[in-house]
Structure 1
């Protein structure tokens, strides 16, 4: 007779839901890839259009995963899942300012050190540059939303529910860094830098606001300002850009061919901002302790011994 409640508890356990999400997201992303092949996009669509199709489809797959697993199984609404409609544009805007400001600071420091240079004599017209930058804005918007749903909306949130904020921040950041290890020009240091600076910063952004919009805005702006604006590779890949820049300093500080986000300057800036966000979240009571400590806090304390 106890088997049904036990099964129900197992199904609702954060680890079980996390596994469900991983499997479902993989299946849905595979279906997006299958649709891409069935449409023969590689025959009639440009490379950037193909990339936008896959990024948008993957973002929708991530959102559907979130809604199906926790929306239906846990009966949570979008606001509880970090996608509240009220104030969404404001949170997205503040996040965009945060991400853009950080990357502008990183490139500014690199330029002052003589490690970032602008390249002259580009053959493209202004219209081509603007068009390409806009295409990539759409790609980074979809990709940023997808990754925030997966790593913060699903991964961090469920790990935090299970193990507390500290473990969730460490594990989600580590996984976030590892998924970049297969990118072009990736190095062990680049993977570590992405995990620490971006993982902590974006995890802190979500912890502080409990809003995926804020974290998504920061993620999108960080990538777009680095690539389509300043002309630096993003995660090892170059894009059409408004400016054409190059990194000429020591790779440990500039990030080299992988991009500025893999360098020491970005590591220091992103980590510092991330720590500030995490501290602010903790001060506002949004730090979730480890489960045994939560249980201990919830248990009634024995009355004080009488004074004799």
Structure 2
């Protein structure tokens, strides 16, 4: 009879690791509010408490990898000059993709810009801080331990498709997700998840996907002033829409609901597929990386 707990290598099956991770995440939810309240009483400000969600998720990840006798570098947090090079490169790539999307919307007359009267360097810096934390949280959740166990269990593209569906579905409750906005934003979110997953696969690091995610959102929201997946943002600029349909301009939801965002995402995906990557091979990931680079 096939052992439901262990694979042929006498290791715990990936499905059980995913269940352990989910159980630990669920266990942290009841302590989230008490931790924040306790730290508030100690004088921590709301800004200082913003990282709590990410830190709890990082703690769960750390527990899982310690049980597996691994380190944070195995899950993609191997801080090094190479890691930061990928992070900053990814941030520039995310900014560039957003600028390309908005440039196309601008060129067809879908939007113009004026300076936001409330603009400030504080808005830019604090927005960068919040989007950094959001990117850290979302990438360790969607491209971290669970994603990596799925790759080991069902292969690269099985993991990619499953996480992309979950990533897209997770945004369906956002403001404005209806009609053409829901169609084009869902396509773009799906493609975005594939891009971020491939960024991890090509580097075996979370630095590149975190950077791309951060650059995309920060430029979209706190610099250009668009909504980010339906959530209004204060920016340096203020977009003025010219009455075109939302599938062209993205509207209040943000450029992610524009067909031009889909075009730019497809172009970014093609470039990433053709890139050979910089991953350092390990015994337990050699076949995975070989499969990824075979698509290049």
TM class, shorter-chain normalised?
A: 0.7 to 0.9
Kept after mapping to 1: 8 A contact 2:202/2:278: no
Q: Which residue of 2 aligns with 1:59?
A: 54
1:213 matched to 2:207? The reply is: yes
Query: 232-241 vs 192-201, which deviates more?
Result: 192-201
1:121-200 correspondence to structure 2 within 5 Å: 122-124=116-118, 126=119, 129-187=120-178, 188-189=182-183, 192-200=186-194
1:95: Cα distance to partner?
0.7
Partner SS for 1:246: strand
Contact 2:151/2:159 (<8 A) preserved: yes
Deviation at 1:7, TM superposition (A): 4.3
Secondary structure of 1:119's aligned partner? strand
- TM-score (normalised: structure 2): 0.83
Taking structure 1 as reference, are residues 275 and 15 closer, same or farther at Cα in structure 2, changes over 3 Å only?
Answer: farther
- Between the aligned partners of 1:109 and 1:171, the Cα distance in structure 2 is 31
C-alpha distance 220-131 of structure 1, shift in aligned 2 (>3 A): same
CA contact (8 A) 1:95 1:213 kept: yes
Q: Distance in 2 between matches of 1:13 and 1:98?
A: 36
Q: Does 1:241 find its partner at 2:232?
A: no
Report the Cα distance in structure 2 between the residues aligned to 1:76 and 1:221, rounded to whole angstroms.
30
Displacement of 1:154 in angstroms is 2.3
Question: Counterpart of 1:295?
Answer: none
Q: Measured at CA, do residues 101 and 123 of structure 1 come closer, stay the same or move farther in structure 2, by a change above 3 Å? A: closer
SS at 2:112 equivalent:
strand
Post-superposition offset of 1:216 = 0.2
Instruction: Check whether the contact 2:188–2:265 (CA below 8 A) recurs between aligned residues.
Output: no
The aligned counterpart of 1:270 is 265
Given that 2:113 and 2:238 are in contact with CA atoms closer than 8 Å, whether structure 1 keeps it comes out as: yes
Would the aligned equivalents of 2:250 and 2:257 in 1 still touch at CA under 8 Å? yes
Conservation of the 8 A alpha-carbon contact between 1:116 and 1:246? yes
Q: Classify the secondary structure of the residue corresponding to 1:192.
A: helix
2:246 is aligned, of 232, 237, 251, to 251
| Corresponding residue SS for 1:197 | helix
1:85 to 70, 74, 79: 79
- Structure 2 gap segments, 5+ residues each: 280-286
Q: What are the superposed Cα offsets for residues 231-253 of structure 1, whole Å, 9 maximum, x if unpaired? A: 10001112221111134432113
Give the gaps of 5 or more residues in structure 1. Answer: 290-308
Partners of 2:203 and 2:278 within 8 A in 1: no
Q: Any idea what the Cα deviations from partners look like across 1:213-240, whole Å, max 9, x if unmatched? A: 1110110000000000001000111222
* Residue from 65, 74, 91 that aligns with 2:68: 74
Mapped to 1, the partners of 2:133 and 2:35 lie a distance apart of 17
Secondary structure of 2:35 counterpart: helix
Give how far 1:197 is off: 2.3
Tell me which residue corresponds to 1:36. 36
| Deviation per residue, 1:95-139 (Å, 9 max, x gap) | 11111110011111111111121135x442x5xx22122111111
C-alpha displacement of 1:177: 0.9
CA RMSD across the alignment: 2.8
Q: What is aligned with 2:282?
A: none
Q: Once superposed, which parts of structure 1, at least 4 consecutive aligned residues long, lie more than 4 Å away?
A: 5-11, 37-41, 281-285
Secondary structure of the residue that 1:94 maps to in structure 2?
Answer: helix
| Distance (whole Å) between structure 2 residues aligned to residue 178 and residue 63 of structure 1 | 23
Distance in 2 (CA, whole Å) between partners of 1:110 and 1:6 is 52
2:218 corresponds to 1:227: no
